[in-house]
Amino acid sequence: MEPDRSTIWPYDEHGDPGRFYYARYAHPAGAAAEAELGRLEGGDALLYASGMGAATTVLLTLARPGTTVALAEGAYFGTSTLFRRLEPWGVRLVEYDQTRPPPPAGLLWVEAPANPILTEPDWEAVRAHPAPVVCDATVSTPVYLKALDEGADVVLHSATKFLTGHHNALLGATVTRDPELTEKLRTMRTLAGITASPDAAAALVRGLETLEERMRAHTENATEIARRLREHPSVERVRYPGYSGLVSFDVADPRAVETATRVIVNATSLGAVTSTMESRHRWEGDRIPRGLLRLSVGLEDVEAVWADLDAALGHSAQGLTLRSQVSK
C-alpha cells in the first residue's frame, strides 16, 4: 500500500485542525506504525527519523546540564559517541559493565543485548536504581523482550534493523507507558523535526506483519551458526545470547574473513533477511576486541550461510599460514 505522502491536510469547516494537519507533527503511515508497535510492546510508541534520532530526542528530554548518563559498555558505538559529543552541553557519560549494578547516575541506558558485545543488563540491579531507565531493545525486539515489564521507562529501537527487517527503511522508535513522558518526547521530536518519513513508517507496518516469524527463523539459523562457529578451529571466541540473529566472534584476521564471503554481505547494519557481517574495529577501535566480527544471520538457507562462512574462515587461515611462512 502506498503511504499518504502529503505534508499538509486541510483544516475542517470551522478552521480547526483535524488529527493530521502538518506532517512534522504526525502523518497517517506514522500513526499506523506507532499503533502496531505500541500494541506489540504494551505502551505508547513514537517513531523518529532514525534510531539515533530517537536517542537524541530521549537524551534532550531526560538529561539536563550536569546529568550523568550511565551507559552499558560495548553497546552501540553511535550512542556513546553522541553522548560524548554532548559533553560541552554538560552531559557526563560513564560507561559501565551492565552485567553488574550500575553506578550513581541521573539516567541509566542499557542495551539488551549490547551490540556487538552481546551482554545483557542485570535487570534486578536496574530496577533498584533510582534513575529513569532507557533500554535499547533493537536486537531483542518485543518478540523476545518486553523491556517495559522488566522496569524500563523508555524502550528504544533502531527500527532500521529487525523491526523493519529488509534494509529498506531508516527509522527509530520509543515506547513508554507514562503519558506525560510520551508527550514530552513527542513535543521534543516535533520541535527538533526528527520525524520518520511516511515511506519508512509504511515499511515498518509491513515489517511488523512478519516480525514474529522472522525473529524465530533468525534465532534458528543463528543458533546453528553459533554452534558451528564454537567448534571451528579458526574461531577464538563466540558470543551469542541464545535468541535473535546477532552473533559476534573473534578471529585472527577479520578483514580477510569479511572480504571473502559471497552469500554474507560485507556491510554494516544488521537485522535483515539478508546476512551481513563486518569487522567492528574499523569503527570502534580498541573499545572492542581487534579481531571481532559481527555477523547478523539472515533468513537464507543455513547450510548456504555456513558453507560461505566456513570457506571464508578457511581462506583467512590459509592466508595467515602463508604470511607466517613468508615472514620466517
Determine the Cα–Cα distance for residues 216 and 108; give it in Å rounded to an integer: 30
Reported as half-sphere exposure (CB side, CA atoms, 13 A), residue 173 has a value of 33
Point out which residues pair with 277 in neighbouring strands.
266, 295
Closest to ligand PLP by CB, 76 vs 306, is: 76
Closest to ligand PLP by CB, 78 vs 319, is: 78
Residue from 3, 38, 43, 51 that binds ligand PLP (CB under 6 A)? 51
In eight-state DSSP terms, residue 8 is B
C-alpha dihedral over 230, 236, 242, 247, to 10 degrees? -110
CA distances from 252 to 55, 117, 133, 258, 316 (A): 34, 17, 37, 12, 8
**Under the criterion CB under 6 A, does residue 50 sit at the interface with ligand PLP?**
yes
**Under the criterion CB under 6 A, does residue 76 sit at the interface with ligand PLP?**
yes
Closest to ligand PLP by CB, 202 vs 256, is: 202
Closest to ligand PLP by CB, 200 vs 313, is: 200
Determine the Cα–Cα distance for residues 51 and 164; give it in Å rounded to an integer: 12
Q: Kindly state the helix (H) or strand (E) to which residue 169 belongs, with its residue range.
A: none
**Under the criterion CB under 6 A, does residue 140 sit at the interface with ligand PLP?**
no
Determine the Cα–Cα distance for residues 197 and 53; give it in Å rounded to an integer: 12
Contact indicator for 34, 47 with CB cutoff of 8 Å: yes
> What mask of x and - would describe binding to ligand PLP in positions 143 to 182, judged by CB under 6 A?
---------------x-x---------x-x----------
Closest to ligand PLP by CB, 254 vs 271, is: 271
Q: By CB under 6 A, how many residues form the interface with ligand PLP? A: 13
Task: Considering only the stretches 33-41, 45-53, 57-65, 176-184, report the one whose residues sit in contact with ligand PLP under the rule CB under 6 A.
Answer: 45-53
Q: Which residue is nearest to ligand PLP (CB)?
A: 51
Where along the sequence are the contacts to ligand PLP (CB under 6 A)?
A: 50-52, 76, 78, 111, 115, 136, 138, 158, 160, 170, 172
